[in-house]
Amino acid sequence: EPEVTQTPSHQVTQMGQEVILRCVPISNHLYFYWYRQILGQKVEFLVSFYNNEISEKSEIFDDQFSVERPDGSNFTLKIRSTKLEDSAMYFCASTPPGAQETQYFGPGTRLLVL
Amino acid sequence: GIQVEQSPPDLILQEGANSTLRCNFSDSVNNLQWFHQNPWGQLINLFYIPSGTKQNGRLSATTVATERYSLLYISSSQTTDSGVYFCAVGQGGKLIFGQGTELSVKP
């Protein structure tokens, strides 16, 4: 069964450094999402992406964040200058065409900012 | 925005017991999913259930959309069922997650 994949599984970085989290959505899916989960808290929506542009973003998704679909398979989340509070699990998700469909989540990237 | 509340927040069961987890939401939705977060942090899709009833092995779920709640039933619980169960709802696009129910199944 096709799966959403994410790399790396874990990343440790210094405050102020840039990080890029990578996702490969399921191949025929058209809608892509990033979510984050701070340790011990609920999962929060960051951004949705469709047709090569952001369709919705949350208040969390400020100018330090950006998303890109650089080719036909990858979907990336960049954090320009990481802060301690960016430490979290980041999940990528994708959805097939259609208004009402299951979102399929990747296994997550655990980011630790020191 | 839409609010999602899950209950109970914590639940401890003996292996073999049954349980019901509840998810209330504050507005009409066109997407509702139940997830199990395993000890490694992965979110495992359990059900896509914006309305109606579904069953998958020992798990089943029912959503009553008109009354804005969903229930997840776990029967004959096993230690591997331990973890956090999340309900998430959507109105077209993003999912909004509840705070989760942390389930611990003791042998």
Of the pLDDT bands very low, low, confident and very high (cuts 50, 70, 90), residue A99 is low
* A42 to B100: CB separation less than 8 angstroms, yes or no: yes
> Chain-wide mean pLDDT for chain A?
93
Per-residue confidence (pLDDT) for residue A96, from 0 to 100: 83
Question: In chain B, which residue's Cα lies nearest the Cα of A57?
Answer: B94
- pLDDT (tens digit per residue) in A43-97: 999 999 998 899 999 999 999 999 999 887 899 999 999 999 999 999 999 998 8
Minimum-distance CB partner of A56 among B41, B45, B93: B93
Chain A residues whose CB is inside 8 A of the B92 CB are 99
- Residue B75 is predicted with a pLDDT of 97
- Cα dihedral sign, A103-A104-A110-A111: negative
Chain B residues touching A101 at Cβ < 8 A: 31, 48
Identify the closest residue of chain A to B33 by CA–CA distance: A102
Q: What is the pLDDT along chain B (107 residues), one digit of tens a residue?
A: 899 999 999 999 999 999 999 999 999 998 999 999 988 899 999 999 999 999 999 999 999 999 999 999 999 999 999 999 999 999 878 999 999 999 999 99
User: Above pLDDT 70, what percent of chain A?
Assistant: 97
Chain B contacts of A102, Cβ < 8 Å?
Answer: 33, 45, 48
Apex CA B100: angle with CA A107 and CA B39, to 5°?
A: 40
When CB atoms are compared, the residue of B41, B88, B94 closest to A56 is B94
**C-alpha R_g of chain A:** 13
Best mutation target, A50, A105, A109, A110, to test chain B (most B CBs within 10 A):
A105
